[in-house]
Amino acid sequence: MNWPRVRKFLYRRLADLLLIFIIIITLFPIFWMVSASFKTNQEIVSSKALLPERWQIQNYLDLWRTVNFGTYFRNSLIVCGTTMVIVTVLATFSGYALSRFRFPGADLFGLAVLGTQLIPGIMFLLPLYQIYVFIKNTFGIQLIGTNYGLIILYTGFYLPLSLWILRGFFASIPRDLEDAALVDGCTQFGAFWRIMLPLATPGIVATAIYVFLTAWDELLFAWVLDVRTIPVG
């Protein structure tokens, strides 16, 4: 019997079992949440069964009747989707520039961007609110209670870390690939568009998901700025 091959087979099966166990643990809360949404309040409190005794959709009907859920969902979708697009585009170009071009203050700028993440967000709450009030009183631009006011705020919050993440992705791509494209006749932007951008797609997608989910879950600033997103609702 080929023991090294048997041992390798057993290790792989154990790894598969471990992966299945982790997936079950990860997905179980989502399964319980969906199952509980079809239960009555009394059944949620008293029953230990995973599945409802009688499936009913009254909870979903009450959601649309008693809560203005459509408005909350639309606002969250607009704010989070727009923030995700703006932040991802800006972070992609700026992350590439920081990883490939050397200019005076590049390292200092990179550290300053990362340093902004060391400041607790709650410290920005009152100053930002006062700035929005000042803009309203001085220029007549209403930012409090509007989607674009929250979009501007989220863009400033999530851009620094997104830029740092994508800078690392671009820096991990060998420069030789880009140099080869330049030798073959590509412009600098052509090499970025045809070579660097496709190779950095996993990092760009991961950054976009991070921005969307973080903005989707944010409550404090949306509440203070009086924007009716899903967490506020």
- CA nearest 110: which of 166, 70, 155? 166
- CA nearest 84: which of 226, 225, 205? 205
> Taking the CB of residue 134, how many other CB atoms lie within 10 A of it?
10
In whole angstroms, give the CA distance from residue 87 to residue 78.
14
What pLDDT, on the 0 to 100 scale, is given for residue 77? Answer: 95
In whole angstroms, give the CA distance from residue 114 to residue 1.
56
Low-confidence residues of the chain: pLDDT under 70: 1-2
SS3 content of the chain, % helix, strand, coil (to 5): 80, 0, 20
What pLDDT, on the 0 to 100 scale, is given for residue 107? Answer: 72
What pLDDT, on the 0 to 100 scale, is given for residue 1? Answer: 58
Residue the block writes with tokens 């220029």: 139
What pLDDT, on the 0 to 100 scale, is given for residue 75? Answer: 93
Residue 137: both structure tokens together = 């009183």
> Taking the CB of residue 98, how many other CB atoms lie within 10 A of it?
22
The 10s digit of each residue's pLDDT in 103-121 is 777 777 777 777 777 788 7
Looking at the chain, the whole-number percentage of residues with pLDDT higher than 70 is 99
